[in-house]
Structure 1
Amino acid sequence: MKPLENIRVAQPPKARVLLWTDLKHSDMEEIEKSNSISEIERILLRALLASDVMQPKQKILLELYTNLVLFSKEQHFNREQTSVLISIIKNVHQFNTETPLNNTDLCLTYCSELLLCHSVRRPPFSIDLFSSEQVTDILYYFINTYMRHYFLYKYIFTPEVQLDISLSYTGIPEDTDIEETAQSGSVSDGRKETERETEMNEEVPQSAVMTATETASLGHGSSPDSELRTFVQKEVRDEVMRLTAQLQQRLQDSADQLNNAISKLETNIQVKK
């Protein structure tokens, strides 16, 4: 769980050259020689996730990286291009999962900047590793795979956020004080009632005793403090339900905006082709 005050949407880091950052030259040699998906997964698990045992979350990332390797083979990317592509998506994923808040536009911007950093020759700030056509194909693939499942990645890999509400009632004693007061009052009342009954048993008829008992039982209603507490709790429940409904509506609006943005990007990419 993450404290609420530490939750923020940070700006993406500055794009930098990622050649051989995660997958080394020797790793790419092994991937090129591999003949099955299981061998590719074994190499990626060791090189990218630094583990020999696959955890549930690691399995999701491993599937993401394995599909990137297969996509690179379909596009006939060389070793350098494949290594850089996987590092780009890895960095975008890390930036995406730094916050549970929506940072869709920033993720798209960061991915575009990283691709631009590897498609323009301007050493030492950038290299011309991808052509403009290859950048278009990569963006199209990124939008239709990672961004299509953006909220699933966000839900799985971001820390859970919980809002705890504590209430303090001004002018109302604590529950323990109320209980102690009630218990001491009931004990003293019981003693006084016993004394009164002993004194009055000989003088008051039985019918009068019954009437007094019924009147006392009717007097034990709810106190003003308990009524106020009940009222405040009801108002808090209503407010929490209202905020929950607003949050659900905002999530739905964010999902609609993401789908619209993806549709526009797909249209622009197809027009450029």
Structure 2
Amino acid sequence: MDCKIKLPRELKAKVMLWTDVSFHDMEVIEKSQSIPDLESALCGVFGVDLPEPKRGVLLELYVETVLFCRQHSFKKEQISALLSIIRSIHEANTETPLNNIEQCVKYSKELLLCHSVRRPPFSVNIFSFQEVESILKYIHNNYLRHYKLYKYIFTPKVKLDLSLTYSGTSDHTVEGSSAPEEEAETDESSVTEQDAASTASTADLKALVEQEVRKQMKLVSGQLDQTIREKEKALQLNGALNSSQPSLKAKK
């Protein structure tokens, strides 16, 4: 079993029109009006065969995407492409347990660009500028804001197995002697005291090192959480700025 952890990487966006959801699949999805019917249809289309809670979370993501498309009156090809885009972003996020929020944000923007500019065979224009803007808001609010939650559910937990080796400690050996019995007992008592002192010193050193390691791990964990929070704030600010641009242009 390969236990290597994948490192975050840059992903290349490509056109995903009818990639996962065919025209026939879209007809089945459109006929499904209730949530259970939608879940059943999407489960068959994407072949979702996962244990709970992964199955429920993933199907809910796909169902919410279909409902969003219906709310904006998207066409069949648009729904098919957006479902594949959401699936691809989710797979990019969950391919590694490490932080790859920057790569996911960049990848999602490039995917939408591939479907909003006519430049065959590299991109097609099935989404307008306004539709791309609304899709970006949807992806941010419904997926990227919950980025850590999806990663926690769908990626393996990484644990640090730390072992410490202490150098400079040696066993004390006592050689035989022809000294009187009392002197031998005195030497043995002295060696025992030295061993006890050495053991106590080693235990103190071990406790001190472990305490320092725990402190450093806690510090690193706090820094990672702060970095993720800053990224989320930046995403929210970016979304707010993008949403304000059309209104500013209209005023001009």
TM-score, normalised by the number of residues in structure 2: 0.83
2:156 to 159, 167, 172: 159
Q: How does 1:24-43 map to 2 (within 5 A)?
A: 24-43=22-41
Q: 1:40 to 1:222 in 2, by over 3 A?
A: farther
Q: Which moves more between the two structures, 245-254 or 143-152?
A: 245-254
Shift of 1:231: 2.5
- Distance in 1 of aligned mates of 2:142 and 2:205: 48
Using the alignment, how far apart are the partners of 2:142 and 2:194 within structure 1? 60
- C-alpha contact 2:114 2:122 (8 A) present in aligned 1: yes
Q: Which of 206, 225, 234 is the matching residue for 1:261?
A: 234
Q: Which amino acid aligns with 1:43?
A: A
Question: Does the aligned pair in 1 maintain the 2:14–2:114 contact within 8 Å?
Answer: yes
In the other structure, the counterpart of 1:209 is none
Distance 1:121 1:34, change over 3 A: same
The letter for the 1-side match of 2:77 is: E
1:249 equivalent in structure 2? 222
Judge which range, 225-234 or 26-35, deviates more: 225-234
Please show how residues 110-189 of structure 1 align to structure 2 within 5 Å: 110-172=107-169
> How far apart are the structure 2 equivalents of 1:96 and 1:2?
19
1:247 Cα deviation from its structure 2 partner:
2.3
Name the SS of the counterpart of 1:17 in structure 2.
coil
Query: What is the match of residue 230 of structure 1?
Result: 203
Corresponding residue for residue 10 of structure 1: 9
Report if aligned partners of 1:17, 1:118 keep a CA contact under 8 Å in 2: yes
The structure whose Rg is larger is 1
Q: Point out where structure 1 has 5 or more consecutive residues left out of the alignment.
A: 189-195, 198-212
SS in 2 for 1:165: coil
Paired with 2:141 and 2:48, the residues of 1 have a C-alpha distance of 28
Q: Distance in 2 between matches of 1:157 and 1:222?
A: 54
CA shift, 1:249, in A, is: 1.8
Instruction: Mark the runs of 5 or more structure 2 residues left unpaired by the alignment.
Output: 247-252
RMSD across aligned C-alpha pairs, in angstroms?
3.1
Aligned residue pairs: how many? 242
CA deviations on 1:156-203 (whole Å, 9 max, x unpaired) are 222211222222333535xxxx7xx99xx9xx9xxxxxxx79xxxxxx
**Is the partner of 1:233 in helix, strand or coil?**
helix
Per the TM alignment, residue 242 of structure 1 is displaced from its structure 2 partner at its CA by 1.4
Kindly indicate whether the alpha-carbon contact (under 8 Å) linking 2:8 and 2:103 is maintained by their aligned counterparts in 1: no
TM-score by length of structure 1 reads: 0.77
2: CA distance, partners of 1:253 / 1:166 = 28
- The Cα of 1:45 is off from its aligned counterpart by 1.1
Shift, 1:3, TM fit: 5.3
What letter is aligned with 1:63?
A: E
Query: 1:28 corresponds to which letter in structure 2?
Result: M
Q: Does 1:88 align with 2:61?
A: no
219 and 59 in structure 1: CA distance in 2 versus 1, 3 angstrom threshold: same
The sequence identity of aligned pairs, in percent, is 40
